[in-house]
Amino acid sequence: MTGKTGGACLEHAKRAARPLPALAGTGRGTHRRVAMVIANLGWGGAQKIMVAIANEWAERGWQVTLVSMDAALALSYFRPDPRIEVVYLGVSAPSADPLRAVWRNLRRLLALRRTLRRSRAQAVVSFLSATNVRTLIAAAGLGVPVIVSERGDPDRRSLPRVWRVLRALSYPCAFRVVAQTDAALGHFGWLVRRRGTVIPNPVVMPPRPAPGDERVVVAVGHLAPVKGFDLLIRAFARCVPGHPGWRLVIWGEGPQRRELEELAASLGLAGLVAMPGRTTQPGTWVEGAGLFVLSSRHEGFPNALLEAMAAGLPVIAADCPAGGPRALVTDGRDGLLVPKEDVGALATALDSLMGDPASCSAFGQAARRSVVRYAFPRVVGRWTELVEEAVEPPA
């Protein structure tokens, strides 16, 4: 990189190489202007966390511009504070050929650059790999520090190669690269790691635990192969004959719905597996649950698992490679970890807890205690300090 873009990149890199300050509260009298960028404001873990952080900053009196690359949805699943300016660029759409893809991406970059300039943001926060790349390019030369955040497993192969290359080239220009686990940050080369930091997801601790006495196995997520619900249905089918009265409820929506319904029917689980779609209110899926399972093939720092533990539910989680489930669950102490994509191990874990109410109760209580360290004020305080450092770096 050369010229203004290269100079801005170098300056941000120098500032980002400084260590983060120790965790402390930030005064509510400090007003900041922050732009936050994401692909869309639909139903998803990244969207939930970004809107929650944006709402907290609006409550502090900050001027927040929340930018969605997508067109306006009829109703955003997670409600932004009315004081937040929400901008829908409407420039996110599939492309039929490479030439059209280049043209659409150029339009996205120009629209995003105009929005960032108009927001007069002192710092920019972006979530998700492709959006992070676009944001870093769009902000080049504007003189505003950009903080990007990986929200999943950086090594997942679902991210096209061209975006992985662009990510490797652009992330060294970020002020900070935020990962959710040490394992995720360790995926990157030293140029990225030297300005990286780890901030897990926050959770709002319920005032009291969920009853957790229902004979219902609950899972939550996008109905897509990455969530491994096919593995969960197969595991449930193996152990449910020995545990009459138990049901499996999978909350969420997505392209794999019909395939999952057909799989359940083929395994003789008619009436025992329900897929009611998305909950009408975020987080209410914990009500009526007796046991939570995360069966994903890949995960970052799973919100649903964190919320289940905060609600005091016993949990079983697949040990995904980016380390999120392992960071949350200590196997045998506050839940059970199983190898990912291992139906037999998942069935064995299900069988052991479905038949042992005492262990379920003990795991649930231990899980609730263990995730207090991820309480919302503490984690969001780290995001606040990161923006403060970007705006006013220490001398």
Q: What is the pLDDT of residue 323?
A: 77
Give one DSSP letter per residue of 14-80, joined into a string. HHHTSPPPPP----TT---EEEEEES-SSSSHHHHHHHHHHHHHHHTT-EEEEEESSPPPSS-SSPP
**CATH at residue 108:** 3.40.50.2000
In a shared domain, residues 307 and 381 = no
Nearest Cα to 304, choosing from 279, 340, 338? 279
| 175 and 275 co-located in one domain | no
Task: Give the torsion sign (CA, 279, 281, 282, 286).
Answer: negative
- Domain total in the chain: 2
Is 306 inside any structural domain? yes
- Judge if 84 and 146 occupy the same domain: yes
Please compute Rg for the chain using Cα positions.
22
User: Which residue range forms the structural domain that includes residue 95?
Assistant: 3-202+375-391
Q: Is there a single domain that holds both residue 190 and residue 74?
A: yes
Task: Name the DSSP class of 212.
Answer: -
> Are 145 and 225 within one domain?
no
- Beta-carbon neighbour count of residue 103 at 10 Å? 12
Q: Residue 271 falls within a domain, yes or no?
A: yes
> What gap in Å lies between CA 119 and CA 97, rounded to an integer?
33
Token pair in block for residue 173: 């220009």
Same structural domain for residues 277 and 229?
yes
**Chain segment 343-376, per-residue pLDDT in tens:** 999 999 999 999 999 999 999 999 999 999 999 9
Q: Are residues 353 and 385 in the same domain?
A: no
Q: Give domain status of residue 106, yes or no.
A: yes
Give the residue carrying structure tokens 């409600």: 79
Is 244 inside any structural domain?
yes
pLDDT tens for residues 192-234? 999 899 999 999 888 888 776 689 999 999 999 999 999 999 9
Where do runs of H (alpha helix) occur along 255-339? 257-266, 303-310, 324-328
List, for residues 76-134, the tens digit of each pLDDT value: 678 899 999 999 987 665 655 666 667 777 888 999 999 999 999 999 999 999 899 99
Residues 188 and 260 both lie in one domain: no
Q: Within a domain: residue 209?
A: no
